[in-house]
Amino acid sequence: MKICIYGAGAIGGWIGVGLAQAGQRLNVVARGATLDALQRDGLSLMRGDVRTRVPVNAVADPEALGVQDLVVIAVKAPALAGVAERIGPLIGPDTIVLVAMNGVPWWFLEGGFGGEITGHRLAAVDPEGAIAKAIPSRNVIGCVVHASCSLDGPGVVRHHFGNGLIVGEPSGQATPRVQKLVELLKSTGIDTTLSPQIQKDVWFKLWGNMTVNPISALTGATTDLIMGDDYVRGFISAVMLEAKEIGRRIGIEITQSPEDRHAVTMKLGAFKTSMLQDVEAGRSVELDALVTVVRELGELTGVATPFTDALLGLARLRTRQLGLY
């Protein structure tokens, strides 16, 4: 199989090492220090002090690889437009593009999903439609990542906790290709589940991080402190209830209450969200994929979102001030 990781950071590297260990030859599109490190040292995964190192064929230019059977995209959302500009040579009619990213993706309303707004292009995540054009939705298989990884350095991934992937066709169908993909991912040792409607899993994960992440970026606080403040926790619940109603209107029933979900987030303890880590490292934030898009879906479905708007306004002001949005 021809497999390419586009975005060999924490998550792309974690999946990539698994695939290589399962016997797959791995292509990687990378740049800068990551490209240099991968060409020199291969790709490494650290679990505690144990290092697993695999060789990879790392290139700067997708043209050098040609059409792949599987492309795993695992970049931060603000980098996706740049990937879309260059990914063309990797994608043929039968290429599977597995999108291992947080937030609402550009293909969210594809595959007949979304009720009355099915097929609508989400301007918050694909303003000009360039991503959908470059990565046709028929090639896409959606993915939710339930794992925590970071980078010790370029090409060196550290796995912290969690070992799960949920994957599914935007249409929800258990096609032969998605079943084959599940088997491939299982062969890497990652607990992989086939979802009957991956958009529901995407939304459910988002329900947890669309609030805590921007609030952590605003305040610099860890999740325990955020959840420990009654007023902040109440505000988070109010935003979540707006998202819950939007979900209901596009066919996603969330049976949990915000408090049920807070109990899960509290278990993380003094955790720095990925957005707080991005702010501290001076990286662009995934605000549009996590929050702006929810506001857009609110408008499209006729749900008023005053609390989401307040969150978005404050978070974008702060991150603009920092030059990260």
DSSP sequence for 74-137: ---GGGHHHHHHH-GGG--TT-EEEEE-SS--TTTT-TT-SGGGTT---TTT-TTSHHHHHS-G
How long a stretch of residues is the chain?
Answer: 325
Residue closer to ligand KPL by CB (options 265, 292) is 265
Distance CA 4, CA 67 (A): 10
Marked catalytic residue, from 205, 244, 267, 272: 205
Of 31-39, 88-96, 131-139, 315-323, the window that binds ligand NDP (rule: CB under 6 A) is: 31-39
- In what helix (H) or strand (E) does residue 108 lie, and over which residues does it extend? none
Contact call for residue 137 and ligand KPL (CB under 6 A)? no
Q: What percent helix, strand, coil does the chain show, rounded to 5? A: 50, 20, 35
Interface mask (CB under 6 A) for ligand KPL, residues 80-119, using x and -?
Answer: ----------------------x-----------------
Smallest distance from ligand KPL to CB 30, Å: 23
Residue 303 · residue 294 · CB < 8 Å: no
- Binding residue count for ligand KPL, defined by CB under 6 A: 10
74 DSSP assignment: -
25 DSSP assignment: -
For the chain, report the end-to-end CA distance as a whole number of angstroms. Answer: 38
Beta bridge mates, 70: 3, 96
CA distances 276 to 24, 243, 302, Å, are 34, 22, 31
Torsions phi, psi for 42 (to 5 deg): 75, -170
- In what helix (H) or strand (E) does residue 288 lie, and over which residues does it extend? none
Exposure on the CB side of residue 173, measured as CA atoms within 13 A: 9
Interface mask (CB under 6 A) for ligand NDP, residues 64-103, using x and -?
Answer: ----------xxxx-x--xx----------------xxx-
Distance CA 301, CA 181 (A): 33
Residue closer to ligand KPL by CB (options 47, 267) is 267
**Residue from 8, 17, 226, 276 that binds ligand NDP (CB under 6 A)?**
8
Q: Which two tokens stand for residue 177?
A: 């290709």
Nearest to 97 by CA among 166, 175, 33, 177: 177
Residue 205 is a catalytic residue: yes
Smallest distance from ligand NDP to CB 220, Å: 19
- In what helix (H) or strand (E) does residue 72 lie, and over which residues does it extend? strand 70-73
**Residue from 22, 81, 130, 151 that binds ligand NDP (CB under 6 A)?**
151
**Residue from 195, 199, 274, 305 that binds ligand KPL (CB under 6 A)?**
274
Q: Which of residues 213-272 bind ligand NDP (CB under 6 A)?
A: none
Q: Which two tokens stand for residue 23?
A: 């016997």
SS3 146: strand
Smallest distance from ligand KPL to CB 205, Å: 7
Contact call for residue 208 and ligand KPL (CB under 6 A)? yes
Of 72-80, 172-180, 238-246, 267-275, the window that binds ligand KPL (rule: CB under 6 A) is: 267-275
Residue 265 interaction partner, one of ligand KPL, ligand NDP, none, beta carbon < 5-8 Å per kind? ligand KPL
Smallest distance from ligand KPL to CB 268, Å: 6
Contact call for residue 212 and ligand KPL (CB under 6 A)? yes
Smallest distance from ligand KPL to CB 144, Å: 10
**Residue from 3, 4, 5, 11 that binds ligand NDP (CB under 6 A)?**
11
Nearest to 242 by CA among 299, 201, 319: 299
User: Interface residues with ligand NDP (CB under 6 A)?
Assistant: 7-12, 29-32, 34, 74-77, 79, 82-83, 100-102, 145, 147-149, 151, 274, 286
User: Interface residues with ligand KPL (CB under 6 A)?
Assistant: 102, 208-209, 212-213, 223, 265, 268, 273-274
Active-site annotation, residues = 205
